[in-house]
Every structure is written in structure tokens, then in C-alpha cells.
Chain A
Amino acid sequence: MIDVAAIKAHAKALLEKGTVRAVIGYRNSTAGLLAEPFVFTGPESVDDLIYGPSCVQNLALYLVNDKKERAHHKSDDARPVAVVAKGCDARAITVLLQEKHFLREAIHVIGVSCEGTGVVDTKKLARKLGGKHAVEIDFDGGEAFAVTTADGVQSLPAAEIMAERCLECRGAHPQLADIAFGEAKTDRALHTPFQAVKHKMKEEQDNRWSFWARQFDRCLRCYACRSVCPMCYCEECVVDSIQFAVLPDTTAEEKANRIKWIERSPNRSESAMYHMVRAIHLAGRCIDCAECERVCPVNIPLRLLNTRLEMEAFETFDYNPGSDMNAPTLTSSFKDTDPNSFIR
């Protein structure tokens, strides 16, 4: 069991001593079951810090946002920022460190092991409860969640209401951590990694296209997937012409000559292009936090799309994103043994 009081005490000590600027963690939200990410800046506010199966968000995103905000406010506080990190969050932070997005000294990672479980999937939970409204969820031993509804508390097996990605997780214990809570369990009852992708790949190509065409038709281009992704930190997005920075000295000619790779209109071909560009940009960087899929308002299976290349990275190139912050990235390295037979 994870000792939330110990995490709290550690975070409090950090803030009291003033060794960190802030602690990024979770607290209970006022809207719904899921916890909300929160930046704790004072030792007294840390009392609200929680950790449980409702802490689904990837906090690496808030490190990226923090960097943007600091640049905006020209902050000169050089102290590091602490962050509560699950296995997947720690992997995301490792990828960001690998890309030199920030320095290792600038972050204090409070690692939290998911142990035998993971985080909850609210859709699965709603289906399981059959209409009853869950108000609280917590760990119940190593393999179950205690769900509180209006009828009282019931214990549900974690494997039935856990997020898909947690079932396929290959590293539930944070590898990158200044201090780690919870025990590193390796004998988790796992699904085979990439099983959804492998299942999809068995389908006929034409059926696959009609499946994806249906998904891309529904895309609203709200860019929620991009906003929630810790890896999508570009100031200017290559597929979104509105994101191009317009400064006082940007001339009309410069604006006109910017390459518009795709249109912003949400139709099939443009949305297909958008999602494929994102998938390509995430190749070897996606750490499978599945936040894109969770936030999608029209339920496009983005995790399926993004893990396709992750599978290729892992199985063909023996590359595991977020495992080593000093290793070269997937597309900035090569091996003599890379596949060559597909080339004529």
C-alpha cells in the first residue's frame, strides 16, 4: 500500500525548507470522481494532497506548462519544482529530459509506484456500476479498488475497472525518482503489451481504412489531444496555422509565405493528416499515458494509433521510450541491423 501521509510529509518538508518552488500533485476535485492536478506552493496547502486510483492525469504536462509560464513571467527563481510521478509520468519526464527540455536539477521527482494496480478508467467504472454514480475511489489492498457510491462502499477487482494502458503497462514503478514511495512490483498480472494494436493489424487493410475513416470523420479538431500531450510542447504547431507566432515585426509577406501543410477544416483528409503527423511526431516519444484518448470528446481511439509506432520502436528497434535520459532518441540514431528488406 502506498503511504499517502508519507508523500504529504515529504512534500511539506520540501516546501517548509524552501528547497523547491512548488509541488505539482493531485487534490480532490469539485467536479466528479477524478482528482485534479494542483500546484502546491505553501506548506499548509499540502494537506489537500492526495494519491489514489483517481489520479489519472500525466503531471509531466504541468512541468512543460510551468516552463512556459516561467518564461512568460521572466521568473528568476532558480529552485527546482517537485512533481508527483507515477511510472508513466516518470517516463514522460525522462523523455523530456532526454530532449533537453529542462535540466535534471530543475526537477525533484517524487516517484509513486502503482504497485499491482493502476488508475481507474471512468468509462469502465460507469459500465460496471450500471448507472450508479461513484463519488470516491481508493485503493483496497493490492488488487482492488474501493468504490463509494450512494449505496455505500464496495470493493471491485482493479483489473476490471483499470485503464487499458495500466493493464499493458511495462513499468509501473518510476525509474526516474529522487525519492520513491510504494514497492516496486514486477509480478503484475499484465495483458500482453500492444495487444490492441496487434488485434487491429490482423484486420483486412480495407476494413482498417473504413475504421479509421470513420474515426477521422468524427474528429472535431478541437486539439484537446495536442493540448493534453506532454510531448506536444512546440510553440508553433506545424499542422495548425493559427499557432504561428505573429510578432510586431512579422511582415505580411512572412505571414503569407508560411507553409500551410493542411487546412484547419475538420474533414476526413485533413484530420487524417493531423492525426498522422501527431503519430509520427510521437514515434519513440509516446510513453503511453493515453491522455489523448481520455480527453477526446468524440472517443477517437488515439492510443491505438499512437502505440502502433511505439510497438515498432520496441519490437523492431529495441527502443523503449523513457527508459534512459542519456540515450539518443529513436529517430536520431540508427543501427546497422535496421530493417532494409522493404527498400528496393
Chain B
Amino acid sequence: MANVQETAKDEPGFEPKIVAFLCKWCSSAGSDLAGVSRLQYPSNAVPITIMCSGSMSPMFVLSAFNKGADGVLVSGCHPGDCHYLKGNFYARRKIYLVQKLLQFIGLENDRFRMSWVSAAEGVKFAGVVDEFVKDVKKLGPQTRLKAKR
């Protein structure tokens, strides 16, 4: 991955690294469905399964950017569909605040995104990732919050 950071902005060789935090009950199953249905979508998203989008700590987002992620996606069940009844409502508030803070600091808006993907929405998941990768590609590598090690 070392050469990824060296490639210039807009260069066709740049493949963004996206960390996708997916809730176990909906979005993970949705991504699974996208795979099982053999949908074509970019392989840039690294999925990390979390128990619920409500268990998503803002630390995870910040840490991912610190460790060099070009984009972070948080995905959970649709409102009202949470396996734990209201986890995604808490997530919605929390993620909204994180997003506002990141934008205020000056991180590009398109680098952090949240989506609702149910277990039946394989096509939607592929679409969300596809769109996200396209947007992040336009921005180039994320250098603002990445640790220089």
C-alpha cells in the first residue's frame, strides 16, 4: 500500500482504502448478499463487523483516519429495524455529531459517510460503496489526519 500514498491526486492508479463499519444484523448481511448475488462493486471497502451501529464509538472513526483510511463508512439497520430496538437511533445522533466535528476541523465532507442498509439490500450496499469510492477517488489520498510514521 506504500505506493498508494505517493500517487498524485486524480491519478487513475489511486485506489482509496475505505473502512466500512457494518452492523452485524443488517449491513453485514447486506454486504454478504451483494457478494452472494455476484454483484460487481469496488473492492476498496474493508468491512469490519460491529454488533450494532449504536456500538460505534467515535474513536473508531478518528482512529481509522489517523491510521490512514481515505474514507470511513458506517452502516446500520434502517430506523425501526434495529436488532436491539433503538441502537441505530443513538448511532444517528452520535455519528451526526462526529460528522459535524470532522467538517468543522476541515476534513473533506465526502470522506465520512453513513448509510442504512438492510439485510435484503445487497444492491443498495454495492451502490453505496460504488458511489463512495468514486467520490473519494476524486479527493485523492487522505493526508490531513493521517499520522506521519
Is B truly associated with A? yes
A36 to B99, CA, bound (A): 39
| B148: chain A residues within 8 A (beta carbon) | 267-269
Once the chains bind, are B58 and A277 in contact (CB under 8 Å)? yes
Once the chains bind, are B66 and A262 in contact (CB under 8 Å)? yes
Stretch at the interface among B11-19, B38-46, B85-93: B85-93
Once the chains bind, are A334 and B107 in contact (CB under 8 Å)? no
The answer to whether the Cβ of A201 comes within 8 Å of any Cβ in the partner chain is yes
Given A205-B108, A208-B106, A261-B63, is A269 in contact with B145 using a C-beta cutoff of 8 Å?
Answer: yes
Stretch at the interface among A122-130, A177-185, A209-217: A209-217
Once the chains bind, are A344 and B113 in contact (CB under 8 Å)? yes
The answer to whether the Cβ of B55 comes within 8 Å of any Cβ in the partner chain is no
Stretch at the interface among A91-99, A229-237, A335-343: A335-343
B101-128 near A? 1/0 per residue, CB < 8 Å: 1111111110001111000000000001
Given A209-B144, A261-B59, A334-B86, is A340 in contact with B92 using a C-beta cutoff of 8 Å?
Answer: yes
| B89: chain A residues within 8 A (beta carbon) | 334, 338
| B63: chain A residues within 8 A (beta carbon) | 261-262, 273
The answer to whether the Cβ of A272 comes within 8 Å of any Cβ in the partner chain is yes
A182 to B90, CA, bound (A): 40
The answer to whether the Cβ of A332 comes within 8 Å of any Cβ in the partner chain is yes
The answer to whether the Cβ of A206 comes within 8 Å of any Cβ in the partner chain is yes
The answer to whether the Cβ of A263 comes within 8 Å of any Cβ in the partner chain is yes
Once the chains bind, are B104 and A342 in contact (CB under 8 Å)? no
Once the chains bind, are A276 and B94 in contact (CB under 8 Å)? no
Once the chains bind, are A343 and B92 in contact (CB under 8 Å)? yes
The answer to whether the Cβ of B98 comes within 8 Å of any Cβ in the partner chain is yes
| B109: chain A residues within 8 A (beta carbon) | 205
A276 to B102, CA, bound (A): 8
Once the chains bind, are A208 and B66 in contact (CB under 8 Å)? no
The answer to whether the Cβ of B35 comes within 8 Å of any Cβ in the partner chain is no
Once the chains bind, are B62 and A277 in contact (CB under 8 Å)? yes
Once the chains bind, are A279 and B147 in contact (CB under 8 Å)? no
| B105: chain A residues within 8 A (beta carbon) | 208-209, 212, 272, 276, 305
Nearest-neighbor residue (CB-CB) of B68 within chain A? A269
- State which of A210, A309, A338, A343 has its C-beta within 8 Å of the C-beta of B106: A210
Q: For the complex formed, measure the closest distance between the CB of B5 and the CB atoms of chain A, giving whole angstroms.
A: 14
Once the chains bind, are A308 and B90 in contact (CB under 8 Å)? no
| A276: chain B residues within 8 A (beta carbon) | 62, 101-102, 105
The answer to whether the Cβ of A317 comes within 8 Å of any Cβ in the partner chain is yes
The answer to whether the Cβ of A270 comes within 8 Å of any Cβ in the partner chain is yes
Between-chain CB contacts (< 8 Å), 9 pairs = A205-B106, A261-B63, A267-B147, A312-B97, A330-B93, A338-B96, A342-B99, A344-B114, A344-B128
**Residues of chain B whose beta carbon lies under 8 Å from any beta carbon of chain A:** 58-59, 62-63, 66, 79, 86, 89-90, 92-94, 96-109, 113-116, 128, 131, 144-148
